[in-house]
Amino acid sequence: MLGWSNGTMAINQELSNDGQATLLAVGTKKGLWLGTSTDRETFTFTGPHFLMHEIPSIGLDTRDGRTRILVGLRSEHWGPTVAHSDDLGATWQEPENGAITFPADTETALERVWQIQPDSADRPGVVWAGCEPISVWKSTDGGEHFELNRGLWDHPHRTEWGAGYGGAAAHTVLPSAGDPNTIHVAMSTGGVYRSTDAGVSWTPRNKGIGAEFMPGEAPEFGQCVHKVARDPNNPDVLYAQNHGGVYRSDDAGDSWVSIAAGLPADFGFTIMTHPRRSGTAWVVPIKADVERIPPEGRLAMHRTDDAGASWTRLADGLVEPEYNVVLRDAAAVDTAEPVGVYFGTRGGSVYASADEGGHFAEVLRHLPDVLCVRAAVVEL
């Protein structure tokens, strides 16, 4: 392991009191910021960690009685890698031979780690990753070493998958808490794929999801699904923010129905579900594919509490006008009560809400483009 040190003294002062705090991790185009707060409105930040490294993915793993921060980082010069910290960013470790490296027979090199997703509490040590080029990876040692999922890598559809603007990547990996055999992934472009045999085989699950950027009927696969989130109680219920379209599936992805009515726009990048309550989801609408700004320059999050039947606009505390978008992983919820909601913009503002989006406070501003936001309740 390589030690990777950063100046992070302030964070230890914040954590000198016993109890719980909220850890907020903000990955940007030029570094990582880490904040802690006991009221989720005032945060003490350290950073930038990994200055001049893009941080497209963060995983906060609070299982096993410790808080592990996993980051996918990438330097334009020195390439991509994965590092982790078990002391809230005071020191970082990087496996010498790389946590994610393609096997020699693939003759492929890792470009970017788009997703780091710890599995459920009853599968400690299991961490999933989604990467560019389109690939899914599984770790059983807490994210120190990942193995390429061969089922998806060797998939016959691979040659037909495309690249979104940001690259060809598996950007969403959703394990299922109740069923270790079921995993959903989403890729751009390719859409949603599901495995029901623990990742041995994968089938496209995009029926009902549009592909307005292609002529004719929507295909079996090839959609540009931007993000998928799973209901906390019913693993068959999924929510998807598509490249044009917001959808829900009640049958584990076999079919999707539009839930975009009531939103000011159906384009967007991110979608999140509540950690405990069924029927609640958040999106950040963007006006359109060809006009990628918040509608009328008025940034707002929207929440449904009835599984998409209706939506409530949430903008209290947000600055207007705001012409920057919120990217697919630049938003997160925590697990506190009430649930905290966080997001960052490409203009470098980061907002936090301690009441499910009812009111937001700007907790960081003028950062580089925010690529990834994650939050967790941590023990001090």
Partner 1 sequence: MGGEVNVLIPSLLRPLVADRPELRLAVESAGTTVAALLDVIGGEFPVFNRRLRDETGALRRFVNIYLNGDDVRRLDGLNTAVAAGQEVMIIQSVAGG
CA–CA gap between residue 231 and residue 229 (Å, rounded): 7
Identity of the residue, 101 or 223, whose beta carbon is nearer to partner 1 in the bound complex: 101
Contacts of 156 (CB under 8 A, 6+ apart): none
Q: Does 18 bind partner 1 (CB under 8 A)?
A: no
Q: Does 105 bind partner 1 (CB under 8 A)?
A: no
Contacts of 65 (CB under 8 A, 6+ apart): none
Q: Which of 17, 39, 109, 289 binds partner 1 (CB under 8 A)?
A: 109
- Binding piece for partner 1, criterion CB under 8 A, among 107-115, 138-146, 270-278, 357-365: 107-115
Q: Does 96 bind partner 1 (CB under 8 A)?
A: yes
Q: Does 110 bind partner 1 (CB under 8 A)?
A: yes
Q: Does 153 bind partner 1 (CB under 8 A)?
A: no
Contacts of 211 (CB under 8 A, 6+ apart): 218, 219, 222, 223, 224, 243
Q: Which of 19, 104, 215, 290 binds partner 1 (CB under 8 A)?
A: 104
Give the H or E element holding residue 10: helix 9-14
Identity of the residue, 16 or 97, whose beta carbon is nearer to partner 1 in the bound complex: 97
Q: Does 51 bind partner 1 (CB under 8 A)?
A: no
Q: Which of 13, 17, 42, 52 binds partner 1 (CB under 8 A)?
A: 52
CA–CA gap between residue 280 and residue 130 (Å, rounded): 25
Angle at alpha carbon of residue 333, lines to 331 and 334, rounded to 5°:
140
Number of C-beta neighbours around residue 181 at 10 A: 12
CA trace torsion 125, 26, 89, 146 (10° rounding): 30
Q: Does 77 bind partner 1 (CB under 8 A)?
A: yes
At closest approach, how far in Å is the CB of 98 from partner 1?
6
Q: Site residues (CB under 8 A) for partner 1?
A: 2, 52, 75-79, 81, 94, 96-98, 101-102, 104, 107-110
